[in-house]
Amino acid sequence: MLEPNLTGADSDPVICRNPVGPPQTPKMMPDQELIPLADQGKVGLATWRFGPNMIESDAALQLVDGTASGPVLACHTGISFWGGIDPLSGCVIDVHHPNHGDGVSGCVLAMPTSRGSCSGSGVLLELALNDRAPACLIFSEQEETLTLGALVAGRIFGKTVPVVRVSSDLFDRIIHADFVSLEDGSLQVGEERWSVTPLHPDVLDLSETDQKLLAGEAGEANRVAMEVLCQMAAAQGASRLRDVTRGHIDGCILAHDANLIFSEKLAQMGAKVGIPTTINAISVDREHWQEQGLPDDFGRRASRLADAYVQMGAQPTFTCAPYLLEQPPRLGEAIGWSESNAVIYANTVLGAKTVKHPDYLDLFIAMTGRAPLAGVYLPEGRQARRVVEVTVPKAMGDESLWALLGWLIGRAAPDRVPLVKGLDGVLLTDDDLKSICAAFGTTSGAPMLHIAGHTPEADLPVLAEADVVTIGAAEFSLAWRELNQAKPPVDLVAIGSPHASLTECQVLARLLSDQICTSVPMIVTVGRNVRDQARDDGTLHQLEQAGVRVIPDICWCSITEPVFPPEARSILTNSGKYAHYAFGLSGRHVRLGGLKACVEAAVTGRSPAEPHWLR
């Protein structure tokens, strides 16, 4: 996000192989009218027309209303729209994805499910507001993030993006078709017409309070929130909603205009959070951005976005690691969080319960204190559907190995909760688990994983249909080469994706000792709470004396030039998450290394060598 077009140093302009329609300029629509549900064609009232070639079955369920047609773009692997799709052009910018370079605009986009960041819903809304969205989304598995983005686009902004979930058999037909149309309760795939079942959110078992919110007795903002929650609950197969104790808002990065449009629209409608709610990292150091050379317009709009959520009652925590705050969720506590790494850590390491809620739904959950009772809120949703047996390299090297492992586990279990075996005798710190969870979230859509011997629910029974996959030396080698594409020399060290913990800051200070970062700049991004703790115990002073820039509020997924040094071409990071997303966000390739390697590069300028176990 260094530049609006997502082009960076040593990268070509974002050009799709199959763009549909002319490039569009983002449109700000602060006064966009709400589209009443009755005027959108209420789900469940579709007109059915059965022709001679109609195949009546339960093969297709329409999750978001609308009609569409277009050429098929088949993706056999899910895409994270955030960090994987350019929000202006609709081009696939994830260099690790098989469809890199394809364009999704105007296509019938068919993929098993989405993956990665909760912020994909915001990217889809941005595409929809600028008429660059897919004509239709078709999934073969459970999917929430893009479904929610499409629902918000239609319900609040009148931009229709239909969403359909289909059986594996029908999905196979669709991905081999050239063109698909959705209309009149049917999908036309080649010569076949398949009936599409409408969704029925009206059959949910709602509490008296839910019904009052849905009826608008608590205002229009709460009515819209409950309406969307009911639609998502029906899409997830839930029969009712459940209480949650706290929320975490993710859609507060100014990666595109849609986040600002949405937040200010809801604030203008009078939305207020009803449960304790924290805010994710934002796009500026809220208190000091004016001193950091940022363009005034960008700084003010980014601040408006953060302030809108504060106005709605959220706490200005500005961290993508809310589990590092003073009172993290407890074992078994039901919460309503967004931000993929935070959700995965909360479920996996803390044993709390939260679905990986999409951006915007997180606000609706925070407003109502209610979430669909589905997925990992249920005991069966937390059981492993795949066993991943890991053989770690004998010469393990540094802690960057855990970033590689998390990335590999996500690839091995892109759509299901895995149980990881083979690490029982290995010491894993909280920061190691944080690294695994964050990297796992880049390649998997699952909201958690279990690690035998390390996480609190690893003893849950594995589902009977669970299969087994293995990760060994060959896979670690592949991952290292995939995530280490930067060429020496390194000219920027990036720490804090997710936000660095106090322990990580202390380790950095200890490794630096009396050395100075004279060869390569080092930037560490942290939450305000960790910055304050580091100031209190003297760690912050040590780091700053060594030439380290410690910046609160922003993270590497939201940093912009000139805070990100414009001259930097090659980045060294300890984060598997940033190693995965960096090129799509900044146009720069990265190398991956532990904190010791990061310090050595900053002090001496030497890039880390290949790990011993690769040789």
Q: 167 and 138 in contact (C-beta within 8 Å)? A: no
Structure tokens at 11: 């990268």
> In whole angstroms, how large is the CA radius of gyration of the chain?
23
Classify residue 168 by burial, with Cβ atoms within 10 Å: 0-12, 13-18, 19+. exposed
Q: Is the dihedral of CA 327, 328, 331, 333 positive or negative?
A: positive
Q: 523 and 492 in contact (C-beta within 8 Å)? A: yes
Residues 487, 488, 489, 491: what is their CA dihedral angle, to the nearest 10 degrees?
A: 40
Sheet of 549-552: strand order equals 549-552, 522-526, 492-495, 570-573, 589-592
Q: Is the dihedral of CA 416, 342, 435, 564 positive or negative?
A: positive
CA distance 588 to 582: 6
Q: 572 and 585 in contact (C-beta within 8 Å)? A: no
What percent helix, strand, coil does the chain show, rounded to 5?
A: 35, 15, 50
Residue 288 half-sphere exposure toward CB, CA atoms < 13 A: 9
CA distance 359 to 279: 12
Q: 65 and 37 in contact (C-beta within 8 Å)? A: no
Which is the catalytic residue, given 105, 117, 195, 607?
117
- Backbone φ/ψ region at 6: left (φ over 0), alpha (ψ -120 to 50), beta: left
117 is catalytic: yes
**Helix residue ranges per DSSP H, 236-339:** 257-268, 296-311
Q: 527 and 324 in contact (C-beta within 8 Å)? A: yes
| Residues labelled catalytic | 117
